[in-house]
Structures are given as structure tokens and as C-alpha cells.
Structure 1
């Protein structure tokens, strides 16, 4: 007998199980990443980009007993697991932060005495990340778990090492000002020879040069009147 089967595996078949109950519907979302722009005198245009990653949503149950519609055997290597065993396995995969493999295929069941299910006429086979997993105990049942599993196609990639050469920071020397320094200065309130030398000559210690050039005695330094015009070097 041939029928469709849904398989989830992890780490090169280290873990593998077939969904015991096929979902009534399988939602597969494939969309583009186009963007619209409005151009003056042209109107709206659409820039077609690469398609987004495929998304798949599965909704079904993990049954607590072997109902007639359950697709796996009650015994053997592919036996029906307890509902919480499925939940714990998916939770373990999520915590690993590694992709799983999703397979949808036609399977041939070899007979009542053979519990194996062999994939045939492969339909879908892709690495996927688990985006979300929600589950709850079904009301009025003997332990069945309803679940919703959202998957997104995973693209394997490897980052190439980049060698960064640390360069020396170069600073441009400050260019001398082209502005000529004033030859005289008129004193204002709060001025002193030291502050004038600092502001005009760039060094407050050069106040003695201004003092000598203007014939100012030491006793007059603190009595210089506002409005006095000083000659500058």
C-alpha cells in the first residue's frame, strides 16, 4: 500500500520519527521580497527581488493510543511513541539551535509483518529551522496532544574568515592660521595682561612681552584702565 508520510529527523538521522497522524492540510508559504517605489513622472514601480525562504505550518495531534487513523505501528522500531516523547524530542531539537530535516514523501508499507516504512517518490526534502512549536492536551481525550509546528527553510552557509590589518591612524598636522594677529588691543572689563597674552599670543606667560613693549610697571599691572590701547608684538 502506498500513502503520503511526513518525517522529521535530526542530526543525520540520529533522531527520526514519522508523524503518527497526517495533518488535514499542509500550509506551504512561498513569497517574494519585492518592494514598491514611487518615481516622479513614472508612478509606482515594483522591484523584483529574490524569493523569501519557504515556510511550512503543520497542525495535527500526537495520539495517546493507537486509533484506526494512526499511521505508525503500535510496536517495532517505528512504533507509536507516547505523546510527551514527541514533545520532548522537538523541544530538544529547538534547544540545540540546529536545523532539522523535513521530508514529505509517498511511502510503501511492506506488509503487516514488516514495520518499516520506505520513502518512495520523494515530494519534499529540505533542511528547516523550527520557528515555533505550540501544544496542548486535547479536552475530553485520554492524553492526546494537539500541536502546531512552524518551520522555515534553512540555508547552510559558512562565514569566511576576514583578516583585518590594523593600520596606523594618521593625523594631519595643524595648519598655521593665515589670519594676521592684531597689532593693538583695546582692554575690556575683566582683561589682564595674562589673559590677553593667552588669547592673542597663545601663551599667557608672554604677558611680560606685552608689559615691556608698553612700558607698564609691575605696580600698574592691577590698575590698567578699561579702554587702554596696548601695542602687541
Structure 2
């Protein structure tokens, strides 16, 4: 059986209101995950290391926004993820930065076989744009070279305070980038990963939907259109 491995990088904003695939895959994906431990020297004991919480994940991408359709350009000519003009990508990223809201970064590895297609998403997280540097390539091609630095974003919000018998208590509330509905009506072409990604903001939660609705494995590839399912 022939197997073809294709990788894709996607950036989206405001729950996929804006979304595009990087037209040219970066040659490398730099992911930085480090701790913040500190060393101390104690008399009669020597140096000790205090382990702290890890810092937020940082990702760096470097590639080009092409002005023409080279053989290595990955996006289609038409459709929602069509190839944009180089400055359209630049303006979209600048607009996202100005909004001071997080974006979502997805790195996908799509393993395509002759008779079936499966997908694996090793990276999918909300991130802030820390820096965006770009320049026109040398010559007259019109390509734009860019470097994009992202940092993992943790959703948070202030918790209201309640005073109980003179003591202050806080009510913890889970923050997120969307308010998920309780049910979802299946449409043609739906699959559980796509529903979890679109509605819950995390495609890896598709198994929760399957378990909650007692959906057998044999039904996963062809869900009944029009059926209403519950969401976690």
C-alpha cells in the first residue's frame, strides 16, 4: 500500500474566522520548551537546584510568502485556503497583532493512503504573536521573506470574590476562546475530530464526544447526517 506523508502549518484567528495555511512549509520548526530552575549555594551542602514551573512554549517559523505559484507552493488556487498575495498575508498577521488577541497554531501531519486518509495533529495550541519580521526578497520576484515568533497563550480571567463568614473565597471559572454549545447537529462531511476542533477548540477531544454518545468505531468514518449529538 502506497503511503504519502504531507505536513502543513495553519494559523487561525477568532475561532477560525480568519484562517490560512502557510503556502510554503518552513525548512525547520523550532520549538523551545525550557524550565526556570535556579541554583543556590548552601554552606556545608554545596550547590542545589530548585525546580520551578516550565516557561511557556515558544515557536519560531521562517519561510516566504510567494508572489507566484512555484512547484513547492502547497495551497490550492481556489477555495478558502487559496494562495493569497504576499502583502495580504502580511496585513492579516499585522491585524491579528493589533487586536491583542491570541491566534491558534496548528502543525499537522497528514498520512494519505490509497483507500483511506488519517490525520495526526502533534501541535495545536493558542499562541500570542511575539514578533513578525518581513522583507522583500532580492530581485523583482515580489516574494516576501518572514520570521514569525509565537508563544503559548494560557487563557485566564479574573475570578469573582465572595465573602463567606468574613473570609474571602474565589470562584474559579474556566476561561477559553469560545463557549461550547451543549449539542451539535451532524452535517455532511463531518467527523468527530473536526467537530471537536471547531466547537471545543481542541481536536484531540473527539474521543470524549464518541464516549459521551456511545458512537461505535464502525460509525466513525460515516456519521449519520442530521443526527444530534451531545457535547462535553
Report the 3-state secondary structure (helix = DSSP H, G, I; strand = E; otherwise coil) of the residue aligned with 1:65: coil
Report the 3-state secondary structure (helix = DSSP H, G, I; strand = E; otherwise coil) of the residue aligned with 2:39: strand
**Corresponding position: 1:28 with 2:27:** no
Does structure 1 conserve the Cα–Cα contact (< 8 Å) formed by 2:29 and 2:60? yes
Does structure 1 conserve the Cα–Cα contact (< 8 Å) formed by 2:37 and 2:50? yes
Report the 3-state secondary structure (helix = DSSP H, G, I; strand = E; otherwise coil) of the residue aligned with 2:145: strand
Q: Per-residue deviation at 1:78?
A: 1.8
What does residue 195 of structure 1 align with?
none
Aligned 1:13-162 pairs, distance under 5 A: 13-107=16-110, 120-162=119-161
Does structure 2 conserve the Cα–Cα contact (< 8 Å) formed by 1:106 and 1:119? no
Name the larger-Rg structure: 1
Does structure 2 conserve the Cα–Cα contact (< 8 Å) formed by 1:105 and 1:119? no
Distance 1:2 1:15, change over 3 A: same
Q: Per-residue deviation at 1:76?
A: 2.8
Q: TM-score normalised to the size of structure 1? A: 0.64
Report the 3-state secondary structure (helix = DSSP H, G, I; strand = E; otherwise coil) of the residue aligned with 2:155: coil
Q: How many residues align?
A: 158
Does structure 2 conserve the Cα–Cα contact (< 8 Å) formed by 1:20 and 1:72? yes
Note the residue ranges of structure 2 that are not aligned, 5 or more in a row: 164-232
Report the 3-state secondary structure (helix = DSSP H, G, I; strand = E; otherwise coil) of the residue aligned with 2:97: helix
Report the 3-state secondary structure (helix = DSSP H, G, I; strand = E; otherwise coil) of the residue aligned with 1:61: strand
State the Cα RMSD in Å.
2.1
Q: Find the aligned partners of 1:156 and 1:76 in 2 and give their Cα distance.
A: 31
| The structure with more strand, counted as a fraction of residues | 2
Note the residue ranges of structure 1 that are not aligned, 5 or more in a row: 111-117, 165-233
Q: Per-residue deviation at 1:124?
A: 0.5
Distance 1:7 1:40, change over 3 A: same
Does structure 1 conserve the Cα–Cα contact (< 8 Å) formed by 2:19 and 2:81? no
72-81 or 22-31: bigger deviation:
72-81
Q: Find the aligned partners of 1:89 and 1:160 in 2 and give their Cα distance.
A: 33
Report the 3-state secondary structure (helix = DSSP H, G, I; strand = E; otherwise coil) of the residue aligned with 2:73: coil
Q: Find the aligned partners of 1:155 and 1:93 in 2 and give their Cα distance.
A: 17
